Amino acid sequence: MTAPATVAPTTKMVNLTIEGRQVSVPEGTSILEAAKYAGILVPHYCYHPGLPVAGVCRMCLVEVEKAPKLAPSCATSVAEGQVVHVHSDKALEARKGVLELLLINHPLDCPICDQSGECELQDYTYMEGRPDSRLRDPKRFNPVEDFGGDVMYVANRCILCTRCVRFMDTMAEDPVLNVSERGDRAVIGKFDGHDLTHPWAGNVIDLCPVGALLSKDSLNKVRAWEVDRTASVCPNCTQGCNMIIETRDNTVVRLRPRSNEAVNQFFMCDYGRLNYRWMNRQDRLDTPLVRRGNDLVLAEWEVALAAAAQLLTGAKARVIASPMLSNEALGLLARLYRKTGGSGSYRVAKGDRAPLPGVKNLARREELGANVRGLELFGFKRSESPAWNLGSEDILVLADEELAGIDAGAVGQPRAIIVIGTTLPSWARGAAVVLPIGNFTEEEGTFTNVDGRVQRFMQAKAAPGYARPSFAVIGDLLALLGEKTGYMLASDAFAAVAASEAAFSGLSYETLGLRGVAVAGGAAR
Amino acid sequence: MGYPHKSHPRETPVLSRHFGDPEARTLAGWRQRGGYRALEQALGMAPADIVNVVKESGLRGRGGAGFPTGLKWSFMKPGDGKPHYLCCNADESEPGTFKDREIMRWTPHALIEGCALGAHAIGAETAYIYIRGEFTEPLRVMEAAVREAYRDGLLGKNAMSSGKRVDVHVHKGAGAYICGEETALMNSLEGRRGNPRIKPPFPAVSGLFGQPTTINNVETLAAVPHILTNGAQWYKEMSLSSPKSTGSKLFSVCGNIRKPGNYEVTMGFPFKEFLYDLCGGPLPGRKFKAIIPGGSSVPIQTVEEAEATLMDYEGFVAGGTMLGSGGVIVFDDSQCMVKQIARLARFYAHESCAQCTQCREGTAWTTRILERIENGEGVMDDLDTLMEIGENMTGKTICVLSDSCATPVFSGLQKWRHEFEAHIKQKRCPMRSAVAA
């Protein structure tokens, strides 16, 4: 095997053998990481690539030839010519011993534990542990504790790996956790008068390899094996943390971070993590509607699209787009307003900036929308006030924008309103045409984050009723206005946008992968 | 001196010469007894020359590991532009060991002189004496002595008018056994939880406050002035045996023996004569059963093994154990080995810092099994389980506390297995009833 492409050519490489495989890794790499690179998992608990090395769980012990003792592979650097055995009898025996000791005071309450099914204690015990227990003595007992924030501590399941303590110390720089007591009385303690209320504290739940730190929000909600997992991007601010959407029965039940060294490493903030209920809204538009006198009535897609196209023919499209829309949708909406000589604008909600000090350039950003940078790149103008200078002959196109907090009378008097959205706000009941689309969990697409990084998200669940993907609806509308479009796939829509928009030139879903690519000159000013 | 007893003629009192003499505690009294001449001499010497004398003397660490002191000092690279530190490990927490306590109680200036000398030798301007929290009297004595030394200009910006800065600070621990482990001691000094650190990096590279640091035991540092004054050859020639074990050594003796106390003998002294002659042998009507020669962490010897042993680093290894810290714990035939070993295990379970899994869980589980056997509720399978837990706990953790807990268990199961089996078969402690009857 050769070095990863990201290694600078000046880095000194070290050659070693792990489980009979030749590996070449940069000097200073740990044996555990080198093994990972060679495709060999060394079981471990306290080690986490995003945290300082502790070397305390002693699970990752491996045999290094010519070394007198087993080596903790997380805390041992590779050396030239080293021969490492991960699965030798000696190493397996040691890890089996650790597992036995980790389990003697563990309540073995997997049937009622939220972590069950995604628990590293379970996994490694099945892989390398003893099938029986030799404990004849009573187990230690400690009560469950509320750690504040979204976090609950079940001390009986804790293996004292200290990942949570290290996260709060070095990443959050809010050292509220500690190891209290000594010996087997030791538990994770919380300093008096402090709670896990740091905006990023929820990450300790994901970092916990066992069921000791649990989310109160998802407590007893689903079992790990019942959920479907989808790679996505958090839409709750402009940071664009990579995440996994977990769904059960077409319902989003939990959001968790997905690693991306360039954006969020292994973390996501509590605001993003817990702000998912809107993705399951029940008051959704699920059929196209057209105006018949005083009523909006159900219509076939062809009828509704034709009605919208007819309104737009010869009129200026004034598009107000949501920052939650994908690049694909926004790129096509930009074509729509440019083609009709209209304009595009947007508004975005603001919150407080909340950085994670341990990671450079990672924060919950002030602007609470996924694709603000995309809107800017496509020429949409920010307009916080509702004075959009609507002419009486203009068509207002509301693209998934609810204009929350804005009075209907303040919007001005366009000739007609076309709603392309997921919901119908009460003041838009006067719309001429309503075209239902999916929200970002219901379609595929890309967002551009604050640094101009274009990142893909996948479809996690089905859209309600007859709602269709945003890019397909806008594409069909453009086709009726004489453009050569009509997209069945998000990748086709993205290719079309990439072909016409300079900032996206040369990009495709293949080049983006699942980690995204920063576009040239894409960073926010 | 066999403090608190009268010195035995076969002792070689070097460090213990002034034990019990209140005048030696004061600076004036100490100077009358030859104190601080070695420091004065050393401050005029190049550090490398001091290191060479100590290397030549063959002095080895008296805290337990027996690492050659001169070699340790030579790891400190002079002129690396970093502040160097000397730590004196006065945490003496190994059960059965109380020699450093007496050095500090009676001859505090011997330690201060050793610290100042050692600091100069390793290029450090600051030495910390880390005293265990329970040592309230030695702490008081040491603090008074340090004040005196500063007042007389022996320490400070211009130590003994040499133009060199030597500061000595006394720091009180909070009473954790593990803080006697050198990296845990450094964490504790820095104000952190006293958890041992992963090595490498070793203290000589990155120690106290991340700077090059040397840690020496009280007895080691207190011996250095004598070596400098009398010469390396004098120290080497004191030994009765192996050229690898030189000088004199303090042994703390406790347990079922007539004259417990501190005894200073030269390396290579016959253990049998030490136990029966110097320490007066067993209590009336009793026989020795088991001896722990070097503090609770070393393998337990049977009395036959002990009687055939020479008291030096190599001699104790040949006798199946280790010199360790020189804390001799004696058990006679009235003692139940299961109970004694369970008591030792409980100590380690209490003191485990809880970092490493094997230690945190293993020490406690071992204790629970041993106490259950002692209470007559053991089963034969427990003996195999104890052996396997012990193997799990050996050589796999950051520090050796875990190994130290397993060691007496191994000794017990190898040498007194019949006592364990008797507990299990009779469902009670046979010794307990024997004493009652």
The tens digit of pLDDT for each residue in A212-222 reads: 999 999 999 99
Look at residue A388 and tell me whether its pLDDT is greater than 80.
Answer: no
Establish if B435 touches chain A: CB-CB under 8 angstroms: no
Residues B117-157 have pLDDT tens digits of 999 999 999 999 999 999 999 999 999 999 999 999 999 99
Do residues B266 and B238 make contact, with C-beta atoms less than 8 angstroms apart?
yes
Mean pLDDT, residues A326-350 taken together = 95
First to last CA, chain A: 42
Gap between the Cα atoms of B203 and B207, Å rounded: 4
Cβ within 8 Å, pair B365-A104: yes
Number of CB atoms found within 10 A of residue B48's CB: 12
Establish if A134 touches chain B: CB-CB under 8 angstroms: yes
Q: What pLDDT score does A484 carry?
A: 82
Establish if A186 touches chain B: CB-CB under 8 angstroms: yes
Instruction: Nearest by CB to B363, from A135, A178, A183: name it.
Output: A183
Cβ within 8 Å, pair A182-B351: yes
Q: What pLDDT score does A504 carry?
A: 93
Q: What burial class does residue A12 get, using C-beta atoms within 10 Å of its C-beta: 0-12 exposed, 13-18 middle, 19+ buried?
A: exposed
pLDDT band at A393 (very low <50, low <70, confident <90, very high): confident
Q: How many contacts (CB atoms, under 8 Å) link A and B?
A: 94
Q: Following DSSP, what letter does each residue of B107-147 receive, concatenated?
A: -HHHHHHHHHHHHHHTTEEEEEEEE-TT-HHHHHHHHHHHH
Q: What pLDDT score does A524 carry?
A: 59
Look at residue A59 and tell me whether its pLDDT is greater than 50.
Answer: yes
Q: What percent of chain A has pLDDT over 90?
A: 89
Measured between beta carbons, the chain A residues lying within 8 angstroms of B388 are: 97
Mean pLDDT, residues A134-139 taken together = 94
Q: What pLDDT score does A133 carry?
A: 92
Residue A414 is which amino acid? P
Q: What pLDDT score does B435 carry?
A: 52
Cβ within 8 Å, pair A183-B349: yes
Establish if B398 touches chain A: CB-CB under 8 angstroms: yes
Q: What pLDDT score does A405 carry?
A: 78
Residues B351-369 have pLDDT tens digits of 999 999 999 999 999 999 9
- A-contacting residues in B 330-359 (Cβ below 8 Å): 349-358
Q: What pLDDT score does B214 carry?
A: 97
Look at residue A402 and tell me whether its pLDDT is greater than 90.
Answer: no
Establish if A58 touches chain B: CB-CB under 8 angstroms: yes
Q: What pLDDT score does B107 carry?
A: 97
Distance from CA of A216 to the nearest CA of B (A): 28
Measured between beta carbons, the chain A residues lying within 8 angstroms of B389 are: 97, 101
Tokens read off for A89: 């009898």
Mean pLDDT, residues A192-200 taken together = 95
Look at residue A2 and tell me whether its pLDDT is greater than 50.
Answer: no
Do residues A201 and A177 make contact, with C-beta atoms less than 8 angstroms apart?
no
Look at residue A4 and tell me whether its pLDDT is greater than 80.
Answer: no
SS3 content of chain A, % helix, strand, coil (to 5): 25, 20, 50
Quote the DSSP letter at residue A244: E
Mean pLDDT (chain A, rounded): 94
Output the 3-class SS for A119-158.
CHHHHHHHHHCCCCCCCCCCCCCCCEEECCCCEEEEHHHC
Distance from CA of A192 to the nearest CA of B (A): 17
Establish if B191 touches chain A: CB-CB under 8 angstroms: no
Q: What pLDDT score does B437 carry?
A: 44
Measured between beta carbons, the chain A residues lying within 8 angstroms of B369 are: 136-137
Mean pLDDT (chain B, rounded): 95
Mutant choice from B178, B181, B361 vs A, greatest count of A C-beta within 10 A: B361
pLDDT band at A240 (very low <50, low <70, confident <90, very high): very high
Mean pLDDT, residues A67-85 taken together = 96
pLDDT band at A1 (very low <50, low <70, confident <90, very high): very low
Mean pLDDT, residues A480-486 taken together = 87
Number of CB atoms found within 10 A of residue B70's CB: 21
Do residues A487 and A496 make contact, with C-beta atoms less than 8 angstroms apart?
yes
Look at residue A8 and tell me whether its pLDDT is greater than 90.
Answer: no
Cβ within 8 Å, pair A101-B368: no
Gap between the Cα atoms of B129 and B111, Å rounded: 9
Cβ within 8 Å, pair B398-A56: yes
Tokens read off for A398: 């509301």
Do residues A231 and A258 make contact, with C-beta atoms less than 8 angstroms apart?
yes
Tokens read off for B36: 């601080």
Residue whose C-alpha is closest to residue A237's, from A364, A346, A348, A362: A364
DSSP 3-state assignment of B68? strand
Q: What pLDDT score does A3 carry?
A: 45
Low-confidence ranges of chain B (pLDDT < 50): 1, 437
Mutant choice from B192, B356, B373, B388 vs A, greatest count of A C-beta within 10 A: B356
Q: What is the pTM of this model?
A: 0.94
Measured between beta carbons, the chain A residues lying within 8 angstroms of B381 are: 134
For B343, B372, B430, B431, the CA distances from B436, given in Å and listed in that order, are 20, 20, 10, 9
Residue whose C-alpha is closest to residue B379's, from B412, B326, B420: B420
Cβ within 8 Å, pair B198-A53: yes
Establish if B362 touches chain A: CB-CB under 8 angstroms: yes
For A62, A231, A359, A483, the CA distances from A460, given in Å and listed in that order, are 40, 8, 28, 30
